[in-house]
């Protein structure tokens, strides 16, 4: 090989490897090594004392287990794939945050995060926000306590399940230009419960949404929503469907709210098999004051005492003699399965 060709070959090799971090002695490339479990513990019994430090070294397929403790740090997950972040328990692991607005960030522009699972911890708010999800896909958040707003923008295939989300001075859960499923959550004590905006496509199923100052659910802009089998109780309003949004609303319990459904003339909503009790006007058009719109009602609506187990103590499970059991194709209406009052 001539000297010129040797130089060209060396340059080509250098370009092909530039920006690739050097591997440590005996270390395998990411795609060749087995997934590992990394332990975080404040007492030093794990590999790391900091959640972020563990995330920084975690690779595809890894699981980070967080032992009990209160972690005063901001946490960011980005440029990660197939990663699990599992706390020891919702009441034993708390992430407090430190310096920025939002304690836990998943994805960030222009980087994303793909196939991330987070569970078993409490996430506090800082600056009004607790969790921010940006530019990610395949994200599962379950069995969490979120004290503040959970906000998602430009995220796809998000599943939020069995979480407690509350204490926001604005909105409990807000999505913009996103695709998400919320199932089996308790969303409580916010100004608004769930806000679905932009071109989002969101399904709300079997959620208890209670004690919002204003509406439990707001669907606006060009968003599309399926609001099915939720219990919307003790809110300023059950739901508002605004702008050019499109929604399907079926099998919900609407009880003890100041008003039921607010429906803008520009929105498109299909209602069926919703149950109303001790709520102001079931259907209204927006205005000051709101204008009753009984013509929006559906012949399948029910007006009946739902038979909550103990609404004075916020126990909104249905008694076994509730009239909301076996309605149309629903085993029961609302979020919570019937139980015997003797239990």
pLDDT digits (tens, 9 = 90+) for 305-343: 999 999 999 999 999 999 999 999 999 999 999 998 655
Res 15: pLDDT: 27
pLDDT digits (tens, 9 = 90+) for 245-257: 999 999 999 999 9
Res 298: pLDDT: 85
State the total domains in the chain: 2
| Chosen domain end from 147, 169, 191 | 169
Same domain flag for 240 and 328: yes
Spatial CA neighbour of 217 closest among 261, 163, 180 = 261
Taking CA atoms, 38 is separated from 129, 197, 259, 325, 330, in Å, by: 27, 37, 50, 46, 43
Res 31: pLDDT: 55
Spatial CA neighbour of 228 closest among 292, 182, 283, 169 = 182
Whole-model pTM over 0.85: yes
User: For the chain, what is the total number of helices (H) and then of strands (E)?
Assistant: 2, 33
User: What are residue 310's DSSP bridge partners?
Assistant: 315
User: Is 306 exposed, middle or buried (CB count within 10 Å of its CB: 0-12, 13-18, 19+)?
Assistant: buried
Same domain flag for 94 and 120: yes
Same domain flag for 183 and 96: no
Res 30: pLDDT: 52
Residue 209 lies in a domain: yes
Q: Which domain holds residue 195?
A: 170-338
pLDDT digits (tens, 9 = 90+) for 125-167: 999 899 999 999 999 999 999 999 999 999 999 999 999 999 9
pLDDT digits (tens, 9 = 90+) for 100-117: 999 999 997 778 899 999
């Amino acid at each position: 090989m001539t000297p010129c060709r040797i130089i060209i070959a060396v340059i080509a090799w250098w370009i092909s490897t530039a920006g690739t971090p050097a591997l440590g002695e005996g270390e395998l490339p990411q795609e060749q090594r087995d997934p590992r479990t990394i332990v975080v513990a404040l007492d030093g019994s794990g590999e790391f004392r900091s959640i972020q430090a563990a995330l920084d070294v975690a690779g595809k397929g890894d699981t980070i287990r967080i032992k009990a403790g209160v972690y005063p740090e901001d946490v960011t997950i980005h440029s990660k794939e197939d990663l699990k972040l599992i706390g020891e328990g919702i009441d034993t692991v708390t992430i407090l945050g430190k310096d920025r607005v939002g304690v836990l960030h998943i994805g960030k522009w222009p980087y994303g995060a793909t196939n991330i699972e987070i569970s078993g911890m409490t996430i506090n708010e800082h600056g009004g926000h607790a969790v921010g999800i940006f530019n990610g896909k395949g994200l599962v958040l379950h069995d969490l306590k979120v004290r503040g707003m959970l906000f998602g923008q430009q995220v796809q295939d998000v599943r939020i399940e069995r979480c407690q989300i509350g204490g926001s001075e604005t909105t409990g859960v807000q999505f913009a230009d996103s695709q998400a499923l919320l199932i089996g959550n308790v969303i409580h004590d916010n100004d608004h419960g769930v806000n679905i905006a932009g071109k989002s496509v969101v399904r709300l199923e079997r959620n208890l949404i209670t004690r919002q100052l204003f509406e439990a659910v707001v669907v606006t802009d060009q968003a599309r929503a399926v609001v099915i089998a939720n219990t919307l109780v003790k809110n300023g309003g059950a739901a508002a469907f605004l702008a050019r949004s499109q929604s399907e609303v079926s099998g919900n319990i609407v009880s003890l709210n100041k008003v039921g459904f607010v429906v803008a003339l520009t929105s498109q909503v299909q209602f069926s098999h919703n149950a109303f009790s001790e709520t102001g006007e079931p259907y209204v058009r927006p205005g000051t004051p709101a204008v009753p719109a009984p013509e929006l009602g559906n012949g399948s609506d029910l007006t009946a005492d739902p038979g909550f187990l103990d609404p004075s103590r916020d126990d909104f499970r249905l008694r076994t003699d509730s009239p909301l059991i076996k309605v149309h194709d629903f085993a029961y209406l609302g979020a919570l399965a019937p139980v015997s009052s003797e239990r």
